[in-house]
Amino acid sequence: MIAVVSALGMTAALGGCGLGGDTDDVTLRLAAADYGDSAANSSKKYWAKLVEEYEADHPDVNVEVSVYSWNDVDAKVKEMIEAGKAPDMAQIGAYADYAADDLLYTADDLLSIPVQAGFSSALASAGQVNGVQYGLPFAASTRLLFYNKTLFEEADLTPPTTWAELAADAAALKAEGVKYPYALPLGSEEAQAETMQWLLSGGGGYTDTVGTYGIDSTENVETFTWLRDELVGEDLTGPVAPGKLNRADAFAAFARGEVGMLNGHPSLMKMAEKKGVKFGMVPMPGVNGESKATMGVADWMLAFKQNGHKEQVGDFLDFVYSEENVLAFSREYDLLPVTHAASEVMSGASEDQDLKPFLDELPLAEFYPVGKTSWAAVSAEVKKRIGSTVEPGGSPSAILGQLQSTATTAESSAAG
């Protein structure tokens, strides 16, 4: 998941008069995630404005949007499906299971050619199962290495470009009394993200070049061996064991000025700015230089076939993915646009320069293997186990081997 998890947990119906309109009217129902962190910037407001504009030009279509917190939205949609009451659309975190069950329209079924061709190629590919696109990218994020400029200046440091430089900088920060020289959140909240960022920087990843799981590859074992010995073993990751440190707590510590370096996404900028922390951002260091790939995360729009409103859903989604609407959403929530046109605007607009470093990373981004129905089980197991690889006496080869076994079994089950 990318974006701040909303604490609101609210559900709101937006737009449309529902079933009370003319008998020829069509009502489209969308279940959407809330990207806001308060009532003031809830996604409810974004959808309300968009729906109002769409319905003004489409009097025979009513659109009802239910907005749920990220804690609830995936489960809510699953409940609807199991009850035989699928929404027409769902804007959530995964699509593979629904595609495997043949519940979804494809992008070809729905979108006009300009809209479909307008998606970032990396994101469009990430939405595919066996070469067919079911997941329509809705929002994206990449990761950069954040560093505390004040702490770096006090220690007379420059941002690292290699793992060795990162470790040396962390050692210097520790000598200056910095609480978390490098914050390594491998706790249960989002361990799969920090893990993937490090795997990519070491030349590996969750899957190989043909999409087969390779979690216990030589490169991956070497990456976690280095983390265990050169960062955690040297006491450069702070007072909380990485396996117990969650991403939200690491971000909060950075905003308090207690962290020298950590991997972050755009929402961390506002958190740090609000607390007056001066920070810089650079690409993730690699073994021998800047990492050749960074981690990207995407959330997805799905369209379900159950209610049969293909034409109306397609027309509405063409409107959702207009340049104006994509830009409005991206700017409101500090996320990256998923279309080429909106990306070009943001790259050149002065108001969007804070997001440009993240936008520049998007063409290099690799995404979770979300097209695999096995990914949910693998991700859950990574969250449980990966922290133990860097504990004193931990065995990266053994733990990554066990995760590979989990992935192989999950893949076999999915294929069966």
Q: How far apart are CA 134 and CA 305, in angstroms?
A: 12
Give a yes or no: residue 46 inside a domain. yes
Give a yes or no: residue 89 inside a domain. yes
Strand pairing report for 279-282 and 259-264: unpaired
Q: Are residues 248 and 152 in the same domain?
A: yes
Note the pTM of the prediction, 2 decimals: 0.86
Q: How far apart are CA 14 and CA 3, in angstroms?
A: 22
Does 90 score more than 80 pLDDT? yes
Q: Are residues 108 and 187 in the same domain?
A: no
Q: Residue 180: beta bridge partners?
A: 259
Q: Are residues 274 and 411 in the same domain?
A: yes
Does 77 score more than 50 pLDDT? yes
Q: How high is the mean pLDDT of the chain?
A: 91
Instruction: pLDDT band for 41, please (50, 70, 90 cuts).
Output: confident
| In the block, residue with structure tokens 């995760």 | 403
Give a yes or no: residue 290 inside a domain. no
Strand pairing report for 61-68 and 13-14: antiparallel
Give a yes or no: residue 1 inside a domain. no
* Element at 325 (helix H, strand E): helix 323-333
Instruction: pLDDT band for 416, please (50, 70, 90 cuts).
Output: low
What's the rounded mean pLDDT across residues 352-362?
Answer: 92
Q: Are residues 256 and 405 in the same domain?
A: yes
Does 308 score more than 60 pLDDT? yes
Asked whether 369 and 206 are in contact (CB, 8 A), the reply is yes
SS3 64: strand
Give a yes or no: residue 2 inside a domain. no
Give a yes or no: residue 160 inside a domain. yes
Instruction: pLDDT band for 414, please (50, 70, 90 cuts).
Output: confident
Last residue of a domain, one of 367, 389, 404: 367
Q: Are residues 19 and 130 in the same domain?
A: yes
Q: Are residues 158 and 136 in the same domain?
A: no
Q: Are residues 152 and 127 in the same domain?
A: no
Give a yes or no: residue 4 inside a domain. no
For 157-210, write each residue's pLDDT tens digit.
999 999 999 999 999 999 999 999 999 999 988 899 999 999 999 999 999 988
Instruction: pLDDT band for 38, please (50, 70, 90 cuts).
Output: confident
Q: How far apart are CA 16 and CA 20, in angstroms?
A: 9
Q: Are residues 163 and 266 in the same domain?
A: yes
Last residue of a domain, one of 350, 367, 384: 367
Tokens of 399: 């733990």
Q: Are residues 337 and 272 in the same domain?
A: no
Q: For the chain, what is the domain count?
A: 2
* Element at 255 (helix H, strand E): helix 247-255
Q: Are residues 323 and 395 in the same domain?
A: no
Percent of the chain with pLDDT over 70: 94
Give a yes or no: residue 346 inside a domain. yes
Does 5 score more than 50 pLDDT? no
Q: How far apart are CA 76 and CA 389, in angstroms?
A: 34
Q: Are residues 200 and 153 in the same domain?
A: yes
Q: Are residues 40 and 67 in the same domain?
A: yes
Q: How far apart are CA 231 and CA 237, in angstroms?
A: 6
Q: Residue 302: beta bridge partners?
A: 90
What's the rounded mean pLDDT across residues 220-247?
Answer: 97
* Element at 45 (helix H, strand E): helix 43-57
Q: How far apart are CA 286 and CA 166, in angstroms?
A: 10
Asked whether 150 and 175 are in contact (CB, 8 A), the reply is no
Q: Residue 145: beta bridge partners?
A: 263, 282
Domain ranges, residue 21:
13-141+297-367
Q: Provide the CATH number for the domain around residue 266.
A: 3.40.190.10
Residue 286: phi and psi, rounded to 5, are: -115, -170
